[in-house]
Amino acid sequence: MTAPAVALPLTPKWLDALIELDAAAGDWPWLRTQYEGSFEHHDLVLGWVEHEQLIALAVFQIVLDEASLLNFAVAAEYQSQGYGKQWFTAILKAIENKRCSKVFLELRESNIRAKKLYERMGFQTDGIRKNYYPSHNGREAAICMSLAIESHD
Ligand SMILES: CC(C)(COP(=O)(O)OP(=O)(O)OC[C@H]1O[C@@H](n2cnc3c(N)ncnc32)[C@H](O)[C@@H]1OP(=O)(O)O)[C@@H](O)C(=O)NCCC(=O)NCCS
């Protein structure tokens, strides 16, 4: 990939592509109903699109100046090559343009790659929710993280 990541707002016409990318990306993909719900609730659904192909996705819920990252994934064939960092940088710009000053997210304790990525992007850990997610071995904890976005006005 040569072009830098740009975060485009996606419409429901991208539903199948979102579901396909997510299903192949990791062990815990969103269901179609979750994407449909996000479109219905006017969440910000963002995509990195190259030649009509979806490379990465992100879904934010925005309330006033706070953005919660609900889902984030890079297509399986592009993982572990630095695209996660590029994509996160692009979605942070999109959030900044929405005048958000804080981003929140939660991730599985076992998701080492995501944790490294978020820490690299400057996120700090705010707390741990024990037994939060169902997992292959019962339940696992959620790590709650946040990032303050500097205003460039
Ligand atoms: C998590 C995810 C978005 C990361 O994107 P990526 O493109 O694979 O990540 P990058 O290549 O940019 O690497 C991110 C960090 O993980 C590290 N990393 C990459 N592959 C790794 C691997 N196989 N094992 C351990 N660390 C790894 C990188 O070195 C980098 O850390 P660094 O900045 O300290 O060097 C991607 O793997 C994904 O879509 N996973 C499935 C869905 C998911 O888990 N989403 C997050 C929900 S919270």
Structure confidence at residue 150 (pLDDT) = 81
The pTM for the full model equals 0.96
> Which residue type occupies 69?
L
State the Cα–Cα distance between residues 105 and 143, nearest whole angstrom: 8
- Is residue 153 scored above 70 in pLDDT? no
Query: 8-148 adopts what CATH topology?
Result: Aminopeptidase (3.40.630)
Our answer on whether the CB atom of 29 is closer than 6 Å to any ligand 1 atom is no
Q: What percent of the chain has pLDDT over 90?
A: 94
Ligand 1, atom 31, lies closest to the CA of 116
Phi first, then psi: give them for residue 121, nearest 5 degrees: -80, 0
pLDDT tens digit sequence for 70-125: 999 999 999 999 999 999 999 999 999 999 999 999 999 999 999 999 999 999 99
Segment (H or E) for 86: helix 83-97
Structure confidence at residue 73 (pLDDT) = 98
Q: Where are the domains of the chain?
A: 8-148
Clarify whether 83 is annotated catalytic: no
